[in-house]
Amino acid sequence: MLDVQGLHAIRMELGEVELAEALSSHALERLRSALQSQGFDLVLEHDAQVINKVKAEIVRRIHHGADGRVDLAVLVRETVHRELSSVSKLFSEVEGITLEHYFLLQRSERVKELIRYGEMTFSEIAFATGFSSAAHLSAQFKQLTGMTPTAFRKLAHPVRTPLDQVGS
């Protein structure tokens, strides 16, 4: 998409692109329109960029990481070099939910994905997603979704939320 716009990326990561050149207001609007036509948006404000970096890193670690155990404070510090408390406050103000709740919602979506695969026991899913036990997983899952993991597994067409819409 950037090539079509005549833009060149220096660096590209999940949810973030650094361009080689500055954009005119016209080029910026063309890029925004092109992104929106694909279901994305352009984020320029610093606070929104901080939030998007944290959200992207949460998604990366929960859905693509090898270990389900994620320390949210460490993740925030490593990702945006700020303390969890300040990012949590900012996140709540901008997103309307707490960072911790967003984190739990993402873990819940990962649990749904693993349940649908049908290849792991609930204990294995709990371990893979950072819960201390199958009972802890079940309690959190029920609190977030209104159903137990077993009930979710029995659904013919379970409802999953697209990752970019979790918490929206």
Q: List pLDDT tens digits, range 20-45.
A: 777 777 888 888 888 888 877 776 67
Distance from the Cα of residue 90 to its chain's centroid: 16
pLDDT at residue 26 in the model: 82
Number of residues that make up the chain? 168
| Average pLDDT of every residue of the chain | 87
Q: Where are the alpha helices (DSSP H) in 23-154?
A: 25-37, 46-64, 72-80, 84-95, 99-117, 122-128, 134-145, 149-154
Q: Which pTM was predicted?
A: 0.69
Residue of 108 and 18 predicted with greater confidence: 108
Residue 14 has pLDDT above 70, yes or no: no
Q: Which domains does the chain have, with CATH numbers?
A: 1-42 (no CATH), 101-165 (1.10.10.60)
**Reported confidence tier of residue 121, pLDDT bands at 50, 70, 90:** very high
